Amino acid sequence: MKPYLIRAFILVLTCCLFSTQASAASERIGPNNLAVIVNEADPNSMEVGEYYLQARQIPSTNLIKVKLPAGKVKLSAWEFAGLRSNILPRLGPEIQAIVLIWTTPYAVECNSITSAMTLGYDAQQCKKTCDPGKPSPYFNSSVSQPYTTLGIRPTILLPVESVEQAKALIDRGVFSSFRLLPSSAYLLTTSDQARNARVPMFPKPMQIAASQLTIQRIEADSIQDRKDVMFYFTGKISVPHLDTLTFRPGAIADHLTSSGGDLLGKSQMSSLRWLDAGATGSYGTVSEPCNYWQKFPAPSIVMKHYLEGETLIESYWKSVAWPAQGLFIGEPLATPYARTQGAPSP
């Protein structure tokens, strides 16, 4: 099927999905609660932003346009203060989360732009990036309306290096709600001991019948030729064989390393490579965090919230205890397990 026919099909299915799942959607962040921020100086940002409004039936009033210098990876604290003060006053009380539709900028000094937008710029973390971070009030919480309850709006970045890849990412997020397929969670203990900090946070191997999910703990540096990937958590500078994997719509995948969130950096594998391979969400740090597990997604927690029917942005954000340096990327409203709410979770 041609891409434009697939997208027309998605829009029809989306209308049906929203009409039949209104009560479930009201309990979590949905299209009416999401602000879409685009950069007027970036044609890709503008095009993908408009596509996203249509694909998710987001009200046009939720679209906010800003002007940012093209290609600038990192903002100064002063530049970011201007950006944030431009955006926040334009958000109504119904807005509970934010998606930034661009690739750059993705950092504010040593902070990620997603954490700085959500919690404010943390200058203290930049004095020594290897120090512990400030606890997030959203961490592993039961909060369903973060702005209403906590006064924060979790933020995610939807990259637009390629318009077609960005639209495909959005399509995967939308498709994630339509059909649940048998899937696996791959939790790897690698030979890289320094990057195995999350291994104690791995859930035990099990099968969750209601969610059609098999959790596998594997001692290996990578997996390959797997066709059912919903979760993939590992710790390596670079992860090989991604081109041999098939990710389910809504899949979450990331690697614990120092600079995965430096999206256009060359020293380590960028978190963008997970999205290129077919994942719907990923995460990485933009400055040297040292290997505190608290600065990375805790697999058992992100999986728990996702399997309980929460959106990708809620589940991912709730899994990071100290998020100042961490960049969340992907399609925020993916909900592959919305129809299996109440199923056991790890």
CB neighbour class for 144 (10 Å; exposed up to 12, middle 13-18, buried from 19): middle
Average pLDDT of the chain to the nearest whole number:
92
Does 16 have pLDDT greater than 80?
Answer: no
Instruction: Give the angle 294-211-298 at the CA atoms, nearest 5°.
Output: 5
3-state secondary structure of 233: strand
Q: What is the mean pLDDT of residues 62-78?
A: 96
Question: 339 pLDDT band (50/70/90 cuts)?
Answer: confident
Orientation of helix 163-175 relative to helix 3-20, angle to 10°: 30
Contact status, residue 267 vs residue 217, Cβ threshold 8 Å: no
Encoded amino acid at 324, one letter: A
Contact status, residue 320 vs residue 136, Cβ threshold 8 Å: yes
Give the DSSP H or E segment for 329.
strand 326-330
- Which residue do the tokens 């950069």 mark? 39
Q: Write the pLDDT tens digit of every residue in 88-101.
A: 999 999 999 999 99
N- to C-terminal Cα separation, the chain: 37
Question: 341 pLDDT band (50/70/90 cuts)?
Answer: low
Phi, psi values for residue 214, rounded to 5°: -110, 125
Contact status, residue 38 vs residue 64, Cβ threshold 8 Å: yes
Query: How does strand 97-101 pair with strand 206-208?
Result: unpaired
Q: What is the mean pLDDT of residues 158-184?
A: 97
d(CA 125, CA 128): 6
List of residues 6+ apart from 216 with CB closer than 8 A: 184, 185, 186, 187, 205
3-state secondary structure of 23: helix
List of residues 6+ apart from 57 with CB closer than 8 A: 14, 15, 18, 31
3-state secondary structure of 91: coil
Output the pLDDT for position 10.
Answer: 41
CB neighbour class for 150 (10 Å; exposed up to 12, middle 13-18, buried from 19): middle
Encoded amino acid at 217, one letter: R
| Burial letters 234-266, b for 16+ CB under 10 A, else e | bbbeebeebeebebbbbbbbbbbbbbbbbbeee
The whole-model pTM stands at 0.92
d(CA 122, CA 292): 17
Q: Write the pLDDT tens digit of every residue in 39-67.
A: 999 999 999 999 999 999 999 999 999 99
d(CA 103, CA 113): 11
Torsion sign (Cα): 156, 159, 165, 166: positive
> pLDDT over 90 for what percent of the chain?
88
Residue bearing the bigger pLDDT, 104 or 26: 104
d(CA 274, CA 243): 10
Encoded amino acid at 165, one letter: Q
